[in-house]
Structure 1
Amino acid sequence: MKKFVDNPAGVPAPPPGRYSHVSRVEIADTVTLTLAGQCAIGDDLSVVAPGDIVGQTDRVFEIIGILLAAHGATFADITSTRTYLTDMDDRAAYAETRAKYLPADALPPSTVVEVSRLFLPDVVVEVEVVAVRELDRA
């Protein structure tokens, strides 16, 4: 088994010494990627689309796509999602936006919970994912 953490280029870096964006575990012929919760943060570390569930969900899944691609994975490799919303009334808009990214014929198990707040004001959604893919043996 091989395990390491990563902060790929192309997405805002986490605060130094606090966490990593990706944990990668290689066992036999598979790679399991566990992504830290992602929020709608821009390259300048500001909140993207403050208070807007659709705009933030798009940004979150854009970041998730970059993190997955950095490890040779795609949205089709996602095996589970966990979503935190500051308002459960946003669930339908979140689900509709998320559907643009996840394959309709292989939707992963999903948990959605409401929380009183997230780590920055105006952040209304945070998404964690786990993905599994075959290990490239070139």
Structure 2
Amino acid sequence: MQITLGNPASAPRPLSPYYSQVARVEHADGSALLYLSGQIAEGATLAAQTRGVFETIDALLEAHGATLTDVINIRTYLTDISRLEEYGAVRREFLTGTPPTSMTFEVSRLFRPEALVEIEIVAAVPAGG
């Protein structure tokens, strides 16, 4: 098993120099698991931030030969759980197949005060990806 941490040049830069955006865990059969750090995005609304986060996640996955269909687990942190349906509507635009395993939490605040949502995911990349 080999573990690689990093920030792909083809994806948006992380908002802080203190973390890696992706941990890639290679398995002997050529498959891999991708663990993405929590992602936030700029935007005036929850919908705009959610779209921005999924666009960043998509770019991070693409840099590792994966797509949103490879997502197997998603953890979402919302600053207002009463807006879950608003978040979910955007999420369904990006995750269109069988839904991955999921957890959603309400938190009092996130890394940046203006952030309304943070999302972290795990994806399974088939051999050759």
Counterpart in 1 of 2:73?
80
Aligned residues: 127
For 1:1-138, list aligned pairs within 5 A: 1-9=1-9, 10-16=11-17, 18-29=18-29, 30-40=31-41, 48-50=42-44, 52-104=45-97, 106-136=98-128
Q: Tell me, what secondary structure is at the counterpart of 2:37?
A: strand
In structure 2, distance between residues paired with 1:107 and 1:124: 22
Letter in 2 for 1:128: E
- Paired with 2:43 and 2:2, the residues of 1 have a C-alpha distance of 38
What is the CA distance between 1:133 and its match in structure 2?
1.5
Structure 2 stretches lacking a partner, 5+ long: none
1:68-121 Cα shifts (integer Å, max 9, x gaps)? 0000000000000000000001100100100011123x1101100000000111
Contact 1:54 1:97 in 2 (8 A): yes
Compute the TM-score of the two structures, normalised by the length of structure 1: 0.88
3-state SS of the aligned residue for 1:107?
A: coil
Query: Could you tell me how far 1:14 is from its partner in structure 2?
Result: 4.3
Percent of residue pairs identical:
43
Structure 1 unaligned regions, length at least 5: 41-47
Moved more, 24-33 or 80-89: 24-33
